[in-house]
Amino acid sequence: MHNQDIIPHLFRTEFRKIVAVLCKAFGIENVNMAEDIASETFLSALETWPYKGIPENPQAWLYTVAKNKAKNLLARNSLFADKIQHGVKISVPENDEIEIDLSPQNITDSQLQMLFAVCHPLLSTEAQIALALRILCGFGIDEIANAFLSNKETINKRLFRAKEKLRTANIKLEFPPESEVSQRLQPVLTTLYLLFNEGYYSESKDTILRNDMCLEAMRLTRMLIDNKQTSIPQVNALLALMCFHSSRFKARKGANGEIILYQDQDETLWNTELIANGIFYLNRASVGNTISRYHLEAGIAYWHTMKEDTEEKWENILQLFNQLLMISYSPVAALNRTYALAKVRGNEIAIIEAEKLNLTNNRFYFTLLGELYTPIDKNKAKQNLLRALAICTTQPDRQTIQQKIDKL
């Protein structure tokens, strides 16, 4: 790795570790202080390393500087606390000799505890995802704004309000008691699922950013699997789902960023190693007697990794969709089911089911109807594709739809 690349790379991997450990030491109410110390640590590296050279162990260097900065700040704050009037409260731990433990085990534990804290049901889902991206993934405000197709000001306000809520509710950085783990895991899994989808289905043009978001969601899910208490079937099913989806990441978008629909994808671009990992985690998920939406979605994604159009494949996908809609209905899942229905029972039946959904603000709804009508009624196919074109927001996707219209 080149010298100029090492600091951004370490920022992505180490910033979150330093912040999590400092929050564990000082309390999550001091998260801004923890972020400041971590940022200043990297600023010191930027100022020192180009002249003195990269230290032999860059991580150890960063941890030492972060510890020293934290201790200096504690000393300054206690001095300040002694001098100011008694009516003013300053959030400083009572023990000045606080231990800042940057051992691998404490780093892992602190990040897991932070994951439970930022996914607290008290916070809105959007706030949870923004906090996870910032504190647990080390994403910059610009990157988060880009991912949400938003602006810095909105993201800063969202993060500020979320941190305030954690502070006023006095949320502790700790592992939930064993009796509560399963219940507290649910919002965590929802956030990781949405974090992955935010990267996978994002309209953002930044492919690296989208890919990084998927990888971060997978990394955090793996951390849950590596912990005995949280390695339950649902978590394994979620990671299987992520593996299957990300195996097709490269094939989903064309050279100009247009979405390439499943039936048009080049399967030589699919990642066979990720598919094998997905199968491994799906097998691990198939114990116990609880079936979650993650199990069903992972099953659907598994069958999609087989490109051959067999009756068995589409029959299985259809049955899994039927189960999924019973336990976790969503219009998008119902729309995707109609494609499988067309494969099993023919386009006419699928069209009847699709039109019942009436998703008039969804371009995929009209694109799918266009596809389903093509062999039956070219005129209706064209009408639907024109409606898809009218609500399409990105130029590359408009071109793809236009090509379908031209073919008719």
pLDDT tens digits for range 301-323: 999 999 888 999 999 999 999 99
Place 75 in a pLDDT band, splitting at 50, 70 and 90: confident
- Residue 58 placed within a domain: yes
Give the residue, 79 or 209, on which the prediction is more confident.
209
Helix and strand numbers, DSSP H then E, in the chain: 19, 0
Whether residues 153 and 63 fall in one domain: no
* Boundaries of domain holding 28: 1-85
Average pLDDT over residues 40-54: 92
Average pLDDT over residues 7-18: 90
CB 56 within 8 A of CB 41: no
pLDDT tens digits for range 364-387: 999 999 999 999 999 999 999 999
Residues sharing a CB contact under 8 Å with residue 404, sequence separation 6 or more, in sequence order: 367, 370, 371, 385
- Specify which residues 253 forms β-bridges with: 259
Q: What is the CATH number of the domain that holds 392?
A: 1.25.40.10
- What percent of the chain has pLDDT above 90? 67
CB 91 within 8 A of CB 78: no
Residue that terminates a domain, selected from 298, 329, 360: 329
pLDDT tens digits for range 317-363: 999 999 999 999 999 999 999 999 999 999 999 999 999 999 999 99
Residue that terminates a domain, selected from 163, 196, 231: 231
pLDDT tens digits for range 245-258: 999 999 988 888 78
Whether residues 241 and 311 fall in one domain: yes
Q: Per the structure, how many domains does the chain have?
A: 4
The mean-pLDDT minimum among 83-92, 125-134, 170-179, 200-209 falls in 83-92
Nearest residue to 333 via CA among 299, 306, 310 = 299
Place 397 in a pLDDT band, splitting at 50, 70 and 90: confident
Whether residues 250 and 322 fall in one domain: yes
pLDDT at 86 over 50: no
- Residue 96 placed within a domain: no
Place 89 in a pLDDT band, splitting at 50, 70 and 90: very low
Nearest residue to 60 via CA among 17, 26, 8, 12 = 17
- Residue 93 placed within a domain: no
Give the single-character DSSP code of 94. Answer: S
Q: Give the number of other CB atoms < 10 A from CB of residue 96.
A: 11
Whether residues 259 and 364 fall in one domain: no
Which alpha helices (DSSP H) does 260-310 contain, by range? Answer: 272-285, 293-304
- Residue 123 placed within a domain: yes
Place 80 in a pLDDT band, splitting at 50, 70 and 90: low
pLDDT tens digits for range 185-226: 999 999 999 999 988 987 777 888 889 999 999 999 999 999
Average pLDDT over residues 107-124: 93
For Cα atoms 215, 220, 224, give the angle at the middle one, nearest 5 degrees.
140
What is the per-residue pLDDT for 78? 66
pLDDT at 117 over 50: yes
Whether residues 270 and 241 fall in one domain: yes
Determine the length of the chain: 408
